[in-house]
Structures are given as structure tokens and as C-alpha cells.
Amino acid sequence: MSRALLSVLWQTGVMSAPRTARERARAELTGEIKAAARRQLETSGAESLSLRAISRELGMVSSALYRYFPSRDELLTALVIDAYDALGEAAESAAQKEYPHPREAWVAVYAAVRDWARANPHEYALIYGSPITGYQAPQTTVQPAARVPMVLLNILSQAHAEGWLPEVEAPEPSGRLAEQVDTIAPLAPGVPRPMLLRLVIAWTQLFGMISFELFGQLVGSMDPADDFFLETSRQMAKYVGIS
């Protein structure tokens, strides 16, 4: 197996436990670079993330960083994936607990997503703010980005299986919209299409609400947003049929 392939397999997380000392050092340094970048992200923002500052912090020369990340954008991509994974992790672990009612699971996931966003506002902005200029999010980010909506889908699907989804009158999607809803239908077997559509609506609402809170759009109306957020999460649970 070639060195390059090994490196790819390891970087993508397919393989773990680097074998040679060099690979071990590389893994460690890659992690340290990302950690320093994340630390820098906390104080400044994404667009003022400086490779030179990172290299200074790690006591190396800036050009050496390019052995680990071919460009600033690649480093940002790595941070993006890590952020999606951290957020997905938070949502999943909130959903894994036991709840007497799916509504509470739903509300808990909402709260977990918000808490993570408030604790890591710059990382949140990195993934849900404006896309970084001239940089197309690679396909690698799609799967980790889907973790939060997957958690919501699972709650809904499980609620349906347990008979928590009563009949709610909601318009049946038609035409192309029905097709689009059908592409996600296999992920939540049994859930009626109107409720799947509403789940997408709720999903966009969730992140719109968090973005508004973090980006200061709620100042003057719903800030601080704790009560607003809690009440909204309950209403949205009902909106998608959980009651």
C-alpha cells in the first residue's frame, strides 16, 4: 500500500493508529495545528485566521504548515468537518437519552444544538454562516452536515413507530416537492409525507433561529432568547406532529 494512500486513509478516518514514528508525529502535529486554529478562531473569526499566527504559536515556520495542509482553505475545510461532527455528536448524545415522550427528546435536541452553537459561536458561523469566499464546500462535508437532521428524522420516525403521531391535518405535497420529500422518506420509514415536509421546515427554522440569536438579529425583540427558544422548540415539535 502506497504511502500516499495510507495518508489519505488515515486522514479520512478510515484507518487509525499510525504505525511509524513519522506518521505518529504527523498525526499529532496535524491535531495541534487544528487545535491552534480552533483556538485562534475563538478570539478572531474565520476570515482572519492566519496560518502565520498558527505557525508562530507552534514555534515553526509558516511554510512548514503547508506540509500538513495544502492551503488555508483546506485547513478551514478540516475545521468545518470537525465542527459538523462536534455538533452532530452533541445532538446525537442528547437524543440517546431516555425520554418519557418524544416531544422531550425533540426539545432536548434543539437545546443541545443551541448550546453547542452558543459555546462555539465561531465554529457555528464557520458552518452555518456565509460560505467562505471562492471555496466550495467539498463533498466530504455533506455526510457530517446531515447528522443533525438525521437525529430529528429518527425522533420523528421513532415517534411514529411508537404511535405518538396522531393524524394531523397538513397539506400533502405534490409535484416536484413530493418527489423531493420522497428522497428523504426512506430515512424515516412510515412517517407521512406532510410531516416530513414539516420536518424540513422545522429544521430550517431551528438554524434560522440560532443564527439570528448568535448574529445579533434578535436584539431588540427576543433577546435573551432562552424562553423564545424553548417555546419555539415545543411548538415545532407539535408542528411536525409530535403531540
12 binds, among DNA, a second copy, none (CB under 5 to 8 A by kind): none
Residue 62 interacts with DNA (CB under 7 A): yes or no: yes
Interacting residue with a second copy among 47, 62, 64, 118 (CB under 8 A): 47
Residue 25 interacts with DNA (CB under 7 A): yes or no: yes
224 to 243: interface string for a second copy, x by CB under 8 A: ---xx--xx-xxx--x----
Give CA–CA dist 206/162, Å, rounded. 25
How many residues of this chain bind a second copy (CB under 8 A)? Answer: 54
Residue 131 interacts with DNA (CB under 7 A): yes or no: no
Q: Which amino acid is at 26?
A: R
**Per DSSP, which regions of the chain are E strands?**
none
Give CA–CA dist 160/155, Å, rounded. 8
Residue 29 interacts with DNA (CB under 7 A): yes or no: yes
Distance of CA 165 to the CA centre of its chain: 27
* CB 227, min distance to DNA, A: 38
Q: Cell triple for residue 94?
A: 442528547
In degrees, to the nearest 5, what angle opens at C-alpha 23 toward C-alphas 20 and 27?
Answer: 140
Classify 105 as helix, strand or coil.
helix
Q: What is the DSSP letter of 99?
A: -
In the complex, the residues that contact a second copy under the rule CB under 8 A are: 44-48, 125-126, 128-134, 137, 142, 145-146, 170-171, 173, 175-177, 180, 183-184, 197-198, 200-201, 204-209, 211-212, 215-217, 219-222, 227-228, 231-232, 234-236, 239
